[in-house]
Amino acid sequence: MGKITINRPEVRNAFRPETLNELINAFERCREDQEIGVVILTGAGDKAFCSGGDQKVRGEGGYVGSDGVPRLNALDLQKSIKYLPKPVIAMVAGYAIGGGHVLHLLCDLTIAADNARFGQTGPRVGSFDAGWGATYMARVVGHKKAREIWYLCRQYTAQEALDMGLVNTVVPLELLEEETIQWAREILEKSPVALRFLKSAFNADTDGLAGIQELAGNATMLFYMTEEGKEGRNAFLEKRKPDFSRFPRLP
């Protein structure tokens, strides 16, 4: 399993553009590494998972990194999490707030410590995430609750988050890592292809043609592994007519 840690505890793990690029690179490494079947995303320390965009570097048009360019590359990290063909578990101690709350939301599963607190701040701090941050949240907790979360900008305890289906379980802080690793180990015992298809099927339900594209790509991958798929390639390379007659046309 892989573990990715947002490491800016002095600002409750708020992210700058550089932080996000590093996280995107880390997810890309987890994608490429065939030894990794599950990724745990967490924040350094026990005060916060992530507090969203670093308001101290927020400029006009986005968050400004050392290159002086305003970016909203939190959206790119969201895609990295959602389209990683392996389950991602958010391990949340302390605050998951604002854009940091959306990150845990997009993870496949969330294990929360009993000190975790969840919420959006956008309309209070002059921001919003009208993409997955709003629409996928409504799929997870229902429209009434999602509108409450975004319109009122309240904070919710771990137990309240569990009650609304926003997290999978709540454990004492001291058991958070142990419990998360246990969940990851249970997942690792399962079929990687089955998990991959299930993740893309869940995405296809919410992501329109982009979701179908991902699901279809996985179907092609699986088809390439079959004798029927290989017959088409082999016939082309051997300059002969393909013979698909031995493959069944199942009901």
Least distance between ligand 2NE and beta carbon 12 (Å): 4
Nearer to ligand 2NE by C-beta: 36 or 125? Answer: 125
Nearer to ligand 2NE by C-beta: 52 or 65? Answer: 52
Least distance between ligand 2NE and beta carbon 124 (Å): 7
- Known binder of ligand: residue 120? yes
Least distance between ligand 2NE and beta carbon 84 (Å): 20
- Known binder of ligand: residue 61? no
Least distance between ligand 2NE and beta carbon 7 (Å): 14
Least distance between ligand 2NE and beta carbon 201 (Å): 27
DSSP assignment string, 178-227: HHHHHHHHHHHTS-HHHHHHHHHHHHHHHSHHHHHHHHHHHHHHHHHTSH
129-137: Cβ within 8 A, 24+ apart: 129/99, 129/102, 131/75, 131/78, 132/78, 132/82, 132/102, 132/105, 132/106, 132/206, 133/99, 133/101, 133/102, 133/105, 135/206, 136/105, 136/106, 136/206, 137/102, 137/105
67-72: Cβ within 8 A, 24+ apart: 69/17, 71/17, 71/20
The Cα 211–Cα 209 span in angstroms is: 5
Nearer to ligand 2NE by C-beta: 55 or 213? Answer: 55
Q: What is the binding site for ligand 2NE (CB under 6 A)?
A: 11-12, 14, 48, 51-56, 72, 74, 95, 97-99, 121-122, 125, 127-129
- Known binder of ligand: residue 96? yes
The Cα 139–Cα 146 span in angstroms is: 9
Nearer to ligand 2NE by C-beta: 1 or 116? Answer: 116
Residue 209's CB: how many other CB atoms inside 10 A?
A: 9
Least distance between ligand 2NE and beta carbon 67 (Å): 18
DSSP H or E run through 1: none
Nearer to ligand 2NE by C-beta: 37 or 99? Answer: 99
Nearer to ligand 2NE by C-beta: 54 or 214? Answer: 54
- Known binder of ligand: residue 191? no
Contact by Cβ (8 Å): 85, 185: no
Residues making up the annotated binding site for hydrogencarbonate are 120-122
Binding residues for substrate: 12, 51-55, 63, 95-99, 121, 127, 224, 239
> From the annotation, which residues make up the binding site?
12, 51-55, 63, 95-99, 120-122, 127, 224, 239
